[in-house]
Amino acid sequence: MTVRQQPVRIKTKKRIQIILLLVSLAFMGLFSRLIWIQLFKGEELQKMAYEARFRDVAIEAKRGVISDRNGRPLAISITTDSFYANPPQIEEGKEAEIAQQLSGILGVSQTEILNQITKNQAFVWIQRKVDKEKAEAIKALSLKGIHSVEEPERVYPKGALLANVLGFVGMDNNGLNGIEASFDKTLSGTPGTLMVEFDSKNQRIPEATQKFIAPVDGSSLVLTIDETIQYIAERELRKLAETHQTDRAGILVMEPKTGRILAMAVSPTFDPNAYNKYDENLWKNLLISDVYEPGSTFKTVVMSGALEEGVVTPQDTFYCGGAIKVKGGTIRCWRTGRPHGYETFFEGVQNSCNPVFVTIGLKMGQDLFYKYLNGFGFGQKTGIDLPGEGTGLIVGQKRCTELDLATMSIGQANAVTPIQLLTAFCAICNGGNLMKPQIVQEIRDASGNLVETIEPEIVRQVISPETSKTVLSALETVVSQGTGKAAYIEGYRVGGKTGTAQKIIPGGGYSSTEFIPSFMGVAPANDPQIVCLVVADNPKTGVHTGSAVCAPAFESVVRDTLSYLKVPAQVVPEQVSASSLQAVTVPSLVEKDVQAAVAEIQQAGLQASVIGDGAQVIAQLPLANTQILKGNSVVLYTRMPKNAGTAAQIPAPELTGKTKEEILKISEGVDLSFEIVGEGVAMYQDPAPGTLIQAGDKITVQLEEEKEPSEEPLDP
């Protein structure tokens, strides 16, 4: 029997050993798993348990105040109630009733609220930043599972004032546009957290552990903007937009010596308190983002560079025959049919004469022209602390033709932003320093302590103080005697430049019905305190020149601003000159009887000198409308026989505006030959009228068909 039981015992023992081994392996596996969980996964699982136990409710920090340079608030944050639901806490069967009650107060769809509180298992927002009356009504209901938390709300107390500069914030208190976006990190501060303990059924535990981490409020900004000047600018901009029915318009006011922006007004605008109710195109700040061909306001840049390089001097004279021919095309003066004739440099500026500036631009040449185009900052961002700034568009120097250079000289071909143009004008007016435009001047912490002062920044010196002074003198005559008379301000010396640019047609060419008029000026011209640019897009009332549309708005803005800043009026003593030094305007004497012409000259206090034996005046020097000192002589040239001799000299007759038949009639009485090219009326001639030439010389006359005035470049 013993022999027969031995195999059974052995088998049993083996089974026990196997079981023990398996149990040991199982314990080893569990122990290894325990070690893995404890050492390697412990922190992660602890975090998961903590998150299951607590709910974090973010508490936004108050954004810093944005104020004008005098501390007047433009953007502030106030405390409002935001409501959220904890669905597990809502009594079963009460969901629809609660949704109905909330819907009636908040004006939100009952179905939408019901979906929020039934399809979510944890924290869900019902509505954020609820106004005071609605919040009190909800709290009075004491709805189980519905809770509130205080959040800051951004408010713009002045409504639409400066809206396109300030921008706005989103529901999460983050800056989305304007200063709010570009200084978002500075303004937003650090959010806080409210941690609430929940049980295993996901219900908030009354009197349970709660932890509150207080938010850190954001820093505040002090802008360079002056609220009063901003109000003045927006007031005048509304008048301009309503009077002339513009698509858009803008006014920009700066301190030329510092680059600080005092006002930046855009029309149409929006209310940042309800920005989402407006077309997003109204959010843009066209004064820094949009580009346009500036027209004659750009001539200030051309004249500055030319004077700095000695290409032109104030003593130089020019001739406008109504047009100027360049390689690749013909550029007309804006005053078609009534050319300016001979002009001094200052008169060319006063008249905004295209041929004068084309001549100057071509004399500069590409290298010098681009030196100042780049030097004044065109084709580059100015670096202003606002989002969405454009760079502008300039013709590449490598592909620039003579025609491009000529058109750039009168403010066409290149597209600039308004902030670029006025920043360049600041340099022209302040002695030659290109300043970085500045919109923020101080940063202060939540307690009002100064954190940083942002000082004016000189980018580079572009022209000399002497050139700046000469340009200012020329621009002052534009307002006192030229196309900018509507900008004149009693008691102040004002300089400025008009501009009327034709809008570009999509696909190429210029519109004959849509324009961008502008006016850019400085006051006082002898001690610049402010510069101002007024620009309008597509006025529809039939008046579309910078002198008519924009100069009056400039006058009102600058007049009231100078008064507000207490800039003293300037009284210039009246200069009384001796009669021998009085200026006299030379009358038009061509085609008049010689005796009558002599009598008219003498009556004006001038002396007459007659050359030739004809009975009628065919030319005169100086030309008509030229100012000369009383007592000086006027030379009258009469019709002379063709055999007068080759040594005789005669001034080239003025042929501009005359037909071919009229030119041929004039040629019958003078010993000159004429080359007449084209059909229509004379647009320009070579040599220019009044130039003394030898008998027998040739005059080339270019004829062109007259066009409607609306098709011509309009630059005043």
> Of 66, 274, 281, 266, which Cα lies nearest the Cα of 180?
66
Mean pLDDT, residues 424-447 taken together: 97
> Of 348, 361, 340, which Cα lies nearest the Cα of 315?
348
Kindly tell me if the per-residue pLDDT of 361 is higher than 90. yes
Structure tokens at 189: 């501060």
- For residue 442, list its beta bridge partners: 222, 453
Mean pLDDT, residues 610-639 taken together: 74
pLDDT at 92: 81
Which of 194-203, 268-277, 279-288, 371-380 has the weakest average pLDDT?
194-203
pLDDT at 153: 86
- pLDDT band of 562, cuts 50, 70, 90: very high
**Cα–Cα distance between 453 and 448 in angstroms, integer?**
13
Kindly tell me if the per-residue pLDDT of 692 is higher than 80. no
- pLDDT band of 206, cuts 50, 70, 90: low
The answer to whether the beta carbons of residues 461 and 433 sit under 8 Å apart is: yes
What number does CATH give the domain 646-716? 3.30.10.20
CATH topology of domain 583-639: Trypsin Inhibitor V; Chain A (3.30.10)
- pLDDT band of 1, cuts 50, 70, 90: very low
pLDDT at 713: 47
pLDDT tens readout for residues 219-258: 999 999 999 999 999 999 999 999 999 999 999 999 999 9
Kindly tell me if the per-residue pLDDT of 172 is higher than 70. yes
CATH architecture of 227-272+290-564: 3-Layer(aba) Sandwich (3.40)
**Cα–Cα distance between 571 and 584 in angstroms, integer?**
26
User: What DSSP designation does 297 have?
Assistant: G
Mean pLDDT, residues 622-635 taken together: 71
Mean pLDDT, residues 417-429 taken together: 98
Kindly tell me if the per-residue pLDDT of 87 is higher than 90. no
pLDDT at 709: 38
pLDDT tens readout for residues 474-517: 999 999 888 888 999 988 999 999 999 888 887 777 888 899 99
Which of 161-175, 251-265, 364-378, 615-629 has the weakest average pLDDT?
615-629
Fold identical between 583-639 and 646-716?
A: yes
pLDDT tens readout for residues 298-310: 999 999 999 999 9
Kindly tell me if the per-residue pLDDT of 203 is higher than 60. no
Instruction: Sort 68 into a burial class: Cβ within 10 Å, 0-12 / 13-18 / 19+.
Output: buried
**Cα–Cα distance between 389 and 34 in angstroms, integer?**
60
Mean pLDDT of the chain: 85
Q: Calculate the CA 104 to chain-centre distance.
A: 46
pLDDT tens readout for residues 635-680: 787 765 455 444 456 677 777 777 888 888 777 666 778 888 888 8
**Cα–Cα distance between 659 and 672 in angstroms, integer?**
18
- pLDDT band of 438, cuts 50, 70, 90: very high
Mean pLDDT, residues 577-590 taken together: 65
- pLDDT band of 404, cuts 50, 70, 90: very high
pLDDT at 712: 40
What number does CATH give the domain 55-221? 3.90.1310.10
DSSP for 302-354?
HHHHHHHHTS--TT-EEEE-SEEEETTEEEE-SSTTS--EEEEHHHHHHHT-H
- pLDDT band of 577, cuts 50, 70, 90: very low
Percent of the chain with pLDDT strictly greater than 90? 47
More confident residue, 86 or 272: 272
pLDDT at 458: 97
**Cα–Cα distance between 222 and 447 in angstroms, integer?**
14
Mean pLDDT, residues 77-94 taken together: 84
Kindly tell me if the per-residue pLDDT of 710 is higher than 70. no
**Cα–Cα distance between 171 and 636 in angstroms, integer?**
81
Helix (H) / strand (E) element for 359: namely helix 354-375
Instruction: Return the domain boundaries, the chain.
Output: 55-221, 227-272+290-564, 583-639, 646-716
Match 């819907």 to its residue by tokens.
103
**All residues at 6 or more sequence positions from 314 whose CB lies less than 8 Å from its CB, including other chains:** 307, 344, 345, 346, 470, 473, 474
C-alpha distance from residue 27 to each of 22, 42, 477, 626, 709 (Å) = 9, 20, 102, 116, 102
pLDDT at 708: 43
More confident residue, 688 or 610: 610
**All residues at 6 or more sequence positions from 664 whose CB lies less than 8 Å from its CB, including other chains:** 674, 676
pLDDT tens readout for residues 9-41: 777 777 787 888 888 888 887 777 777 777 666
pLDDT at 211: 65
Mean pLDDT, residues 138-154 taken together: 84
**Cα–Cα distance between 181 and 170 in angstroms, integer?**
10
Compute φ and ψ for 187, nearest 5 degrees. Answer: -80, -30
- pLDDT band of 629, cuts 50, 70, 90: low
- pLDDT band of 581, cuts 50, 70, 90: very low
pLDDT at 651: 72
Looking at the annotation, which residues are catalytic? Answer: 296
H helices present in 415-485, as ranges: 418-429, 465-480
